[in-house]
Amino acid sequence: MSETRSEVRSGAYYDSVMLMQLQRSLSELPGVEDAGVIMATPANCEILTASGLPIDSSAGPDDLLIVIRAEDSDSAEGALDQIDELLARRRSSASHAFRPRSLESAVKQLPDSQWVLISVPGRYAAGVAQDALALGRNVFLFSDNVSLEEEIKLKNMGRDQGLLVMGPDCGTAIIGGVGFGFANRVRQGKIGLLGASGTGMQAISSYIHNKGGGISQAIGTGGRDLKREVGAMAAHQGLDLLARDSESEVIVIVSKPPHPEVAAAVLNHAAKSGKPVVVDFIGQAPPAKRLGNLHFAVSLQDAADLAVSLSSASAEAGVDILTVPASDEKAPRYIRGLFSGGTLAYEAVLALSSVVSPVYSNAAVYEWQQLADVMVSQKHTIIDMGEDDFTQGRLHPMMDNDLRLRRLRQEAADPEVGAIILDLVLGEGSHPDPASEIAPVIEEAIDIAKRNGRNLEIAAIVIGTDEDSQIIEEQTTKIATAGAMVFNNTSDAVYYVSTFLPVPKEPNMMPLSLAAFARSVAVINVGLEVFFDSLEIQGASVVQVDWRPPAGGNEKLMSLLSQLK
């Protein structure tokens, strides 16, 4: 009959890798049927109980609990007797060097350190990160179970000091050629990654390597960074760093679907980087194939392919980016779209929503974008004038321009409007010469804005062929002569008008130091010793902190100690 034995070691802290290795070693001993090795937190105890192993009720959350089920009592007692020997075998190489007991001591031992890698249990992680920031170090916060409130507090602290907080729950990064966390071994190169997706960054960096490309930096943000509450603080810092980094010629952004307003702010920032940027918001329909220097991918593999291609093009002859005048921060704020084509209007909403927010429309992509009154624009507005509200008792706007021209004058008179997009769709059944009616009103609209002391940009999308009866070249010439920029696709037109909007204020932040991302990497590791081994193998200077839960894990005493700091 099976025998079960357990042992509680009060206040004996070991990281989860060490516990996993010890549990595996105990399970492999002769006569042992099952083994459980945990820090006796309520969650761990619940899991152990569910697996059929009994819990010693005297064990607390900061105690080491070992449970052995064996064929007989001698096998169970024999397994417990070997614990110390097995632990000694499992110690990492960090154990053979002096291990400081505090971050302060570690900084003195490695004064050139720019990074602290933290992988302690979540309830202690924010405190360690706060200490690291107070010592002027950037943070790679691998730990999960850190509250959203703590994350926001830490990232605000970092942003104010010009320090980066990657995480919490940040699985991977590559800094100065050294992989943090779960990073893959990849060659150094000209592509910078920014990700709120750990395995997404691993996949893209691996694909890039396998296609012959290389990584300059890979900056993780943690999975919640692009939530509305956090506001992409780490992403904005990372973008600013990659834009300034001469080693990063192409930028890749990967994330699970972000909040729309946050996504628009990040992509607007990316559009101003002056570099080609590949964007993969996983599971979200790309707004276009390209918007200026923004290139949208449909998969992780596609993102890698685009990045390698753009990196090669940049190295050979420079990347073709639509150039436009710099925007005036005092310019009017809003874009209005007046479309005869419903699908073109929908495509414009999708594209515009990626760089500005909010966008309203009667051809909304999302329910919250639905325009309350189609006769009254609000903020950025795209109108499909072929919808039922505008065609009752009237011809479709591809045949009758009257209502659209009235709306064009109305929008031009709005002092908050800085740009207008419209389409001219040629072909059978359409107006025989739409430009002859639209061009004079374009001139009038531009003049209305000038008389009101502002510039009005107008972009016209002309859809047709050289065989259409309207003669596309003549239509284009008339519209361009009237003062509009002419495009043959929605994406370029949307990007063009968006560049004339006021540059949105980036979050107030001190810029990150490029020196922290240089090829000589020095790291203080707090937590999982397997990361010490990894960093050391990669050639980084690294010190392992002999971390233990403060105050023995006593919550009241911890609170008192924190107040004394």
- Amino acid 366: pLDDT: 82
- Please tell me whether residues 235 and 138 are part of one structural domain: no
CA distances from 496 to 116, 170, 529, 550 (A): 43, 36, 51, 56
Give the alpha-carbon dihedral of 12, 15, 16, 17, to 10 degrees: -120
Query: How far, rounded to the nearest angstrom, does the alpha carbon of residue 384 sit from its chain's CA centroid?
Result: 32
What would the pLDDT profile of 110-138 be if each residue is shown by its tens digit?
999 999 999 998 889 999 999 999 999 99
Q: Which of 31-40, 200-209, 373-382 has the lowest mean pLDDT?
A: 31-40
- Residues of the chain with pLDDT > 70: what percent? 92
CA pair distance 533, 110, nearest whole angstrom: 17
Residue 508 is assigned to a structural domain of this protein: no
- Please tell me whether residues 438 and 534 are part of one structural domain: no
Rounded to an integer, the average pLDDT of 538-544 is 95
What would the pLDDT profile of 474-533 be if each residue is shown by its tens digit?
999 999 999 999 999 998 999 899 888 775 555 678 999 999 999 999 999 999 888 999
What would the pLDDT profile of 313-344 be if each residue is shown by its tens digit?
765 544 444 444 444 555 668 999 999 988 99
What tokens does 180 get? 């943090």
CA pair distance 104, 101, nearest whole angstrom: 9
pTM: 0.80
Closest CA to 141 of 219, 202, 254: 219
Q: How many residues does this entry show for the chain?
A: 565
Q: How many domains does the chain have?
A: 4
- Please tell me whether residues 469 and 375 are part of one structural domain: yes
147 neighbors 125 (Cβ within 8 angstroms): no
What tokens does 408 get? 């064009």
Closest CA to 354 of 363, 365, 338, 362: 365
- Amino acid 322: pLDDT: 43
CATH number, residue 82? 3.30.70.60
429: left (phi over 0), alpha (psi -120 to 50) or beta: left
pLDDT at 355 over 90: no
Q: What is the mean pLDDT of the chain?
A: 88
Where in 129-185 does DSSP place strands (E)? 138-141, 165-166, 172-175, 178-181
Count of Cβ atoms closer than 10 Å to residue 24 Cβ: 13
- Amino acid 77: pLDDT: 87
Residue 504 is assigned to a structural domain of this protein: no
CA pair distance 190, 176, nearest whole angstrom: 12
- Amino acid 320: pLDDT: 44
- Amino acid 504: pLDDT: 56
Residue 512 is assigned to a structural domain of this protein: no
- Please tell me whether residues 388 and 487 are part of one structural domain: yes
Of 91, 123, 141, the one marking the end of a domain is 91
- Please tell me whether residues 272 and 132 are part of one structural domain: no
pLDDT at 563 over 60: no
Classify the C-alpha dihedral 477-483-485-487 as positive or negative.
negative
Helix and strand numbers, DSSP H then E, in the chain: 19, 22
CA pair distance 304, 286, nearest whole angstrom: 16
287 vs 473, residue with greater confidence: 473
Containing structural domain, residue 317:
171-325
- Please tell me whether residues 407 and 394 are part of one structural domain: yes
What would the pLDDT profile of 256-306 be if each residue is shown by its tens digit?
889 888 998 899 899 888 899 999 998 788 888 898 899 999 999 999 999
330 vs 405, residue with greater confidence: 405
Of 70, 91, 112, the one marking the end of a domain is 91
What would the pLDDT profile of 68-111 be if each residue is shown by its tens digit?
888 888 888 888 888 888 777 766 555 556 789 999 999 999 99
CATH number, residue 184? 3.40.50.261
